[in-house]
Amino acid sequence: MVRILIAICVLGAAFLPAGQVLGAGAEKELLKSLVLPDSPKDTAISADGKLFFVLTGKKVLIYDARGNYKNGVEVDGDPDMINVNPKGDTLFLTNSISKGMQVVSVDFVQEITIDGNPYKGNPEASVAIAVFSDFQ
């Protein structure tokens, strides 16, 4: 029975026009095209898919999942490959010619503006604490 089924499949495929493929196909859709400031050497993506990193010359460009530029990090030497840890906060840069490797920690700093907000104390202080004392 199995031999008959295999023979039917093989004979059926023989009658397909050249180039036609059985089964589901793949479709593509261009989501975004980026113009980079320098030629890319390698790319990496964080495990959660929220960030991707593009290695160019002496800089790593960091983009969010939608392709919006977030930041750039200068790197030493001339790395030609990049990899990222699962959390997306450590980059592994390697140079196949010099046989070197750099481990670079990336930290994202969010600036919080307090202009126009109520405060108590020195407005030039490096730390600001907001106290909501009017709640009952």
Could you tell me if 80 and 89 are in contact, meaning their C-beta atoms sit under 8 angstroms apart? no
Query: Tell me: the pLDDT tens digits for 95-121?
Result: 988 888 999 888 877 787 777 777 677
Residue 81 within a domain:
yes
pTM of this structure:
0.62
CATH number at residue 55: 2.40.10
114 within some domain: no
Q: How does pLDDT run across 67-85, given as a tens digit for each residue?
A: 899 989 898 888 999 999 9
E strand or H helix that includes residue 128? none
> Is 119 domain-assigned?
no
